[in-house]
Structure 1
Amino acid sequence: MTASAADNTSARRYGSGETLSVQNAHLGEVLMVREVVLQSDKKVNAGSAIGAAVGYGAAREVKGDYRSAAKVAGGVIGGVAGTAVQNGFRKRRGVEVYVRDLESGKVIAIVQADDLPIRAGDKVFLTGKGSKTRVVPIEGQSR
């Protein structure tokens, strides 16, 4: 399990459904960049469930009178560990980028992972459609 496996907030990551399709691209200028925390809003805590199952399974190997107690303890400990791992993946650094679309003059804000160098004053491309729009810096800009 890795943080990037489920990360759909990166301007560098595309889903397979986005490949080989036309993406809108507009030239824009960054007005402001603000640091934010990206936090998962998923209700299901898969880390807890997976950790509990692994802990319970490992405890099944315990022999004797303590087997039932070991299963419960293993499940609880695994669940707590799984939750801790998942929580580490759920909170990541992000940026809220305010961009003026140079074609329309409209100002928009896009929140995405903080994995590209974007600063106020940069010329960028706004690429994508709707909720899949990304801010992509134009390479080779003099700073």
Structure 2
Amino acid sequence: MNRSFVTACASALVVSLALSGCATFDGSANVYSASQAQREETVRFGTIESVRPVTIDTSNGQPGFLGALGGGAIGGIAGSAIGGGRGSILTGIIGGIAGAVAGNEVQNHFEKKQGVEITVRLDNGSLRAITQSTDGPMFYAGERVRLLSEGGVTRVTL
């Protein structure tokens, strides 16, 4: 079998496995999981005190390995195609290390998304801060909002 065909197939497999490991957390006020649908939520009203941009890390503090694994495999395959004999082994090792570092950085990039921390003064005078993704409506200080809470999860909506 053609060596470049095998390399291309192996690379495609590794990339697809690495991408399948990317986080799917949404953290949005507008997206509900199937288990959240048709569930009663507590509704509170308040006024936004402040909004500040934040970065949401969807890896949940868990180190990712699929990006490094995929990048290392692709880099190793590509590196071993250069040179011959011991040179091929050396370039494969170097390619694998460089690919692992690059793959890890790519995975880290995909595990971060833009969000906002919204501080709301409830009608009873207490303050609440809720962090959620930035899709959907923009929120501004002074705006009246609803806080929807269920099972420890709170969303800010208009």
Q: Tell me if both proteins adopt one fold, taking TM over 0.5 as the criterion.
A: yes
Letter in 2 for 1:31: E
SS at match of 1:133: strand
- Give the Cα separation in 1 of the matches to 2:77 and 2:30: 38
* Larger helix proportion of the pair: 2
1:56 matched to 2:76: yes
Displacement, 1:113? 1.8
Aligned to 1:68: 89
Residue-pair matches, total: 135
Percentage identity across paired residues of the two chains: 33
* TM-score in terms of structure 1 length: 0.73
Q: Which residue identity is paired with 2:76?
A: Y
Q: Which residue, out of 11, 35, 45, partners 2:64?
A: 45
Contact kept in structure 2, 1:92 and 1:113, CA below 8 Å: yes
The alignment's TM-score, normalised by the length of structure 2, stands at 0.67
Q: Provide structure 2 residue ranges, at least 5 long, that are not aligned to the other structure.
A: 1-18
- The aligned runs of 1:1-143 (5 Å cut-off) are 1=19, 5-39=23-57, 40-46=59-65, 47-59=67-79, 64-65=84-85, 66-102=87-123, 104-115=124-135, 116-136=137-157, 138=158
The structure 1 segments of at least 4 consecutive aligned residues displaced by more than 6 Å after TM superposition are: none
Rg larger in structure: 2
Structure 1: any 5+ residue segments left out of the alignment?
Answer: 139-143
The separation in 1 between residues aligned to 2:74 and 2:33, in whole angstroms, is 30
The one-letter code of the counterpart of 2:61 is K
Amino acid at match of 2:134: D
Contact 1:8 1:14 in 2 (8 A): no
Contact 1:97 1:109 in 2 (8 A): yes
Match of 2:11 in 1: none
- Seen in structure 2, the aligned counterparts of structure 1 residues 97 and 59 have a Cα distance that, compared at 3 Å, is same
Query: Equivalents in 2 of 1:43, 1:22: separation in Å?
Result: 31
RMSD (CA atoms): 2.8
